[in-house]
């Protein structure tokens, strides 16, 4: 562990690098030219997602009405157990890595930020992630690898997140990624100064206290309050929820009465993300657009809507 002086210096280096890039403190000075839209932060997007090119990504985000996007890189393509012998390279979706996200954000500094990531059990994983944290990465993730959530490799990543004061975004999927969801509360307790963002199928299935079939990744029907995800959000100040992807949209729409109350209780802990590979940015096939509509429809007040679409992410990522 670093001493306080070293930690402070690391945070200063990371912050200074991003400041010099011309991005950090000007993000909200200017929305898109000619736009009077309310700002929306999308905390979950990818470059080269299922083959979508960079021009299509830019058009998608602008059409969707996103004013500020955080790009989440993949780890490098390697053949090992943590990537399911290569099947999960590119976040299992053809997504590109750190350099691609960094360069895209540099090209569009008023609209895009970037994260840092690496396959956690590679010998130089910490060095690779730290390289991009020093250049201004705002989050570690998307962590989507076949490892135990409390492994020594992941603990090193949590310690790095603590040193740089950035969140860790984790993809929870039973028998595939980040094993040990039922033990994760121990990590939240061990690292109270690290903010964690939960995402994906197992995270969202467990809003329901009666979610017993762990293999059911997209459950339907009524939700009984008090599932493991609900407990983590309620009991741990350092736990947040990413509303993105089909899993998030399914959780919001399967029981809308529950969702309205869920939004009220966790209004300070939920963050909009799209995680959408679509190229149009509108219509029924664009889950990012459908999630925004669901948030607006199911929020009991404008205040809650703005928290979920903008204010919570602005605060968490210190934008």
Q: What is the pLDDT along the chain (319 residues), one digit of tens a residue?
A: 444 434 444 554 445 454 444 444 345 554 544 456 799 999 999 999 999 999 999 999 999 999 999 999 999 999 999 999 999 999 999 999 999 999 999 999 999 999 999 999 999 999 999 999 999 999 999 999 999 999 999 999 999 999 999 999 999 999 999 999 999 999 999 999 999 999 999 999 999 999 999 999 999 999 999 999 999 999 999 999 999 999 999 999 999 999 999 999 999 999 999 999 999 999 989 999 999 999 999 999 999 999 999 999 999 999 9
Q: How far is CA 292 from CA 65, 149, 162, 192, 253, in A?
A: 10, 30, 31, 30, 12
Identify whether the C-beta of residue 146 lies closer than 8 Å to the C-beta of residue 177: yes
At 201 the pLDDT is: 98
Q: How far is CA 149 from CA 144, 159, 187, 201, in A?
A: 10, 13, 8, 16
Buried b (16+ CB within 10 A) or exposed e, 231-253: ebbeebebbbbbbbbbbbbbbbb
Identify whether the C-beta of residue 168 lies closer than 8 Å to the C-beta of residue 197: yes
How far apart, in whole angstroms, are the C-alpha atoms of residue 133 and residue 288?
27
How far apart, in whole angstroms, are the C-alpha atoms of residue 260 and residue 258?
6
Closest by CA to 145, choosing from 215, 92, 206, 200, is: 92
Q: Give Cβ neighbours of residue 152 (< 8 Å, ≥ 6 apart).
A: none
**Whole-prediction pTM value?**
0.91
Cross-strand pairs, 106 = none
Q: How many CB atoms lie within 10 A of CB 76?
A: 18
How far apart, in whole angstroms, are the C-alpha atoms of residue 274 and residue 97?
18
Structural domains of the chain, with CATH: 4-18+40-316 (3.20.20.140)
């Amino acid at each position: 562990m670093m001493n306080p002086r070293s930690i402070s210096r690391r945070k200063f280096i990371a912050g200074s690098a991003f400041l010099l890039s011309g991005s950090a403190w000007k993000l909200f000075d200017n929305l898109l030219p000619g736009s009077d839209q309310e700002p929306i932060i999308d905390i979950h997007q990818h470059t080269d997602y299922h083959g979508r090119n960079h021009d299509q990504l830019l058009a998608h985000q602008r059409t969707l009405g996103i004013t500020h996007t955080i790009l989440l890189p993949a780890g490098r393509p390697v053949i090992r157990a943590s990537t399911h012998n290569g099947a999960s390279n590119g976040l299992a979706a053809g997504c590109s890595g750190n350099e691609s996200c960094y360069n895209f954000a540099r090209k569009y500094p008023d609209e895009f930020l970037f994260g840092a990531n690496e396959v956690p059990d590679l010998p130089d994983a910490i060095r690779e992630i730290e390289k991009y944290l020093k250049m201004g990465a705002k989050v570690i993730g998307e962590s989507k690898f076949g490892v135990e959530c409390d492994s020594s490799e992941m603990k090193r990543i949590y310690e790095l997140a603590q040193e740089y004061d950035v969140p860790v975004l984790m993809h929870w999927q039973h028998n595939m990624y980040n094993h040990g969801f039922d033990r994760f509360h121990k990590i939240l307790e061990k690292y109270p100064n690290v903010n964690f963002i939960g995402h994906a199928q197992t995270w969202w299935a467990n809003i329901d206290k009666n979610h017993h079939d762990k293999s059911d990744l997209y459950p339907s029907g009524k939700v009984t309050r008090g599932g493991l995800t609900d407990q983590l959000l309620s009991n741990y100040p350092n736990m947040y929820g990413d509303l993105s992807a089909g899993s998030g949209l399914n959780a919001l729409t399967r029981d809308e009465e529950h969702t309205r109350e869920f939004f009220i209780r966790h209004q300070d802990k939920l963050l909009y993300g799209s995680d959408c590979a679509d190229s149009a940015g509108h219509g029924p096939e664009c889950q990012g657009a459908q999630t925004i509509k669901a948030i607006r429809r199911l929020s009991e007040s404008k205040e809650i809507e703005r928290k979920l679409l903008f204010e919570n992410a602005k605060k968490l990522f210190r934008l």
